[in-house]
């Protein structure tokens, strides 16, 4: 059975982080494992607290997994600080991570920083060069590049610049763009591909980025190419948004199990 390791933070409300990742893996028929980088106190209305796991213990979790079950793909989410980024990059080299998907989690929807400034620098220098796929949204791409991204050509220039940092494939997500269509742009160093879907008007958007990156990792673990994995992940997330049902008083989660539960339990 294909397997994926997620290295990410825990969301106490279950909609994002490792909880979203593990739900995605289960929905897409891969075996999910986790190394927790941080505990967050959060709900659909926002993050109220963060407790970072010592980098040495993050590394120990990764070692324990690889000593027994070597994953077919690895996905990173919230890494919190430079020490954890350094530890993860070190383990990526030591264990020769296959098909590493880096979700550049930096800021929560409520504005809480989820990656320190020195962590951003460490991600640029140490982790992106090891990534098979990196999946920034527009605000994250702006932080990585320290410049505004506004036009369609800006997006393509940003993809080129991030790919030049070492990632083999860059997907700049279009969820923060305006308009009736959400367009994700994939760049592999040679050509661009665009993946379009109707923008879903819903408050249930919590964990969208985590779910998208995890779905890419799941499809890669199942043997699909990067372009195919991105396309199937886009379709999966679009339906998870479309079929979500209200939970909580803020931004509720997407519906990871829409194939099995329909519109709700």
**Active site annotation includes 210:** yes
36 vs 207: CA distance, rounded Å: 16
**Active site annotation includes 76:** no
125, burial (CB in 10 Å: exposed 0-12, middle 13-18, buried 19+): middle
Given 109, 119, 210, 231, the catalytic residue: 210
Residues 6+ positions from 165 with CB-CB distance below 8 Å: 124, 128, 129, 144
Q: In sequence order, what E strands does 158-202 have? A: 169-172, 181-187, 192-198
Which single residue is written with the structure tokens 């997907």? 171
Given 40, 205, 211, 238, the catalytic residue: 205
The strand order across the sheet containing 181-187 reads 46-52, 31-43, 3-11, 73-76, 100-102, 133-134, 169-172, 181-187, 192-198
20 vs 72: CA distance, rounded Å: 19
**Active site annotation includes 209:** yes
Given 209, 231, 250, 252, the catalytic residue: 209
Helix, strand, coil content of the chain in percent (nearest 5): 40, 25, 35
Given 119, 174, 207, 250, the catalytic residue: 207
Which single residue is written with the structure tokens 């796929």? 133
1 vs 13: CA distance, rounded Å: 29
23 vs 18: CA distance, rounded Å: 8
Given 99, 173, 238, 250, the catalytic residue: 173
Given 24, 40, 76, 208, the catalytic residue: 208
Catalytic residue IDs: 173, 205, 207-210
């Amino acid at each position: 059975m294909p397997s994926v390791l997620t290295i990410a933070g825990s969301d106490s409300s279950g909609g994002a982080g490792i909880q979203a990742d593990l739900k995605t893996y289960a929905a897409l028929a891969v075996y999910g494992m986790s190394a927790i980088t941080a505990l967050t106190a959060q709900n659909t209305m926002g993050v109220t607290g963060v407790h970072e796991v010592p980098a040495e213990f993050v590394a120990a979790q990764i070692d324990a997994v690889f000593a027994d079950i070597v994953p077919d793909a690895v996905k990173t989410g919230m890494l919190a600080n430079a020490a954890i980024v350094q530890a993860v990059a070190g383990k990526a080299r030591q264990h020769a991570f296959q098909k590493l998907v880096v979700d550049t989690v930096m800021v929560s929807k409520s504005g809480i920083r989820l990656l320190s400034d020195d962590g951003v620098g460490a991600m640029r220098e140490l982790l992106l060069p090891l990534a098979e796929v990196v999946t920034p949204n527009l605000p994250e791409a702006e932080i990585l590049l320290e410049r505004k991204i506004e036009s369609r050509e800006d997006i393509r220039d940003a993809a080129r610049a991030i790919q030049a940092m070492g990632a083999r494939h860059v997907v700049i997500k279009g969820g923060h763009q305006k308009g009736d269509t959400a367009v994700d742009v994939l760049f592999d160093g040679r050509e661009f591909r665009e993946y379009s879907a109707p923008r879903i008007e819903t408050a249930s958007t919590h964990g969208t980025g985590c779910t998208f990156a995890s779905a890419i990792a799941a499809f890669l673990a199942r043997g699909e190419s990067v372009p195919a994995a991105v396309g199937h992940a886009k379709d999966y997330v679009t339906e998870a948004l479309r079929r979500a049902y209200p939970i909580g008083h803020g931004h509720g989660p997407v519906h990871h199990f829409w194939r099995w539960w329909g519109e709700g339990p």
